[in-house]
Amino acid sequence: MPIPCYVSGKGMFATERTTQFKTAVIEFLESSGLGYDTRYRYYRRQLPEIDPRQLVRMVCDPIESYDQDWEGYRTARPAGRDADEVITAFVMERDALFRREARVAIYCYDEAGFGSGVNSMRFILEGKPILGFYDPDAQHRDINLHNVLQLRFEFPTLVTVVPYRSLEEVRGQLLAWLPTR
């Protein structure tokens, strides 16, 4: 039975590097039958007419760009409510839905920001395992890798953080790790 996964990494400001990671992982999960990304499957049902490869790429972008319920949610907001609070509430509701369904999280920490840290802690607090990746050769690093590695040291039964240099290594790690969950 496929394992529901939450595939993540830097969100709205991710570069092509993180987007490539996330799309490769989602495509691998779908093609291998080992698992599926809960966000991708949700939007596959909501947007069945979209080409699967296009949708994989799309779900790496902010959901207000494609979620069919966003416009109605936005226009139904109470008068005087701050627009940033409205989008935050909407994204939190959707994201909580994706996290609840997921049994595990798969993270690209190459460009991880505050949101990745918060979500990682949410998974840890829920007792759900995380498989995290980082490229030790990354030229551009705006994160403190030591903070990410602390997760592995502090929560060794829940957090696995491994280096990778190619997406093939990521697929190999997924093949080894997912069946144990």
| Closest C-alpha to 33, from 167, 179, 181, 180 | 179
Cβ–Cβ < 8 Å for 99, 5: no
The whole-number pLDDT of residue 5 equals 97
Burial class of residue 58, CB neighbours in 10 A (0-12, 13-18, 19+): middle
Q: How confident is the model at residue 43 (pLDDT cuts 50, 70, 90)?
A: very high
This model's pTM is above 0.85: yes
Domains of the chain: 3-63+98-180 (3.40.50.450)
The whole-number pLDDT of residue 140 equals 59
Q: What is the pLDDT of residues 80-138, one digit of tens each?
A: 788 889 999 999 999 999 999 999 999 999 888 788 888 999 999 999 999 999 988 87
Q: Which amino acid is at 119?
A: N
Q: Does residue 131 sit in helix, strand or coil?
A: strand
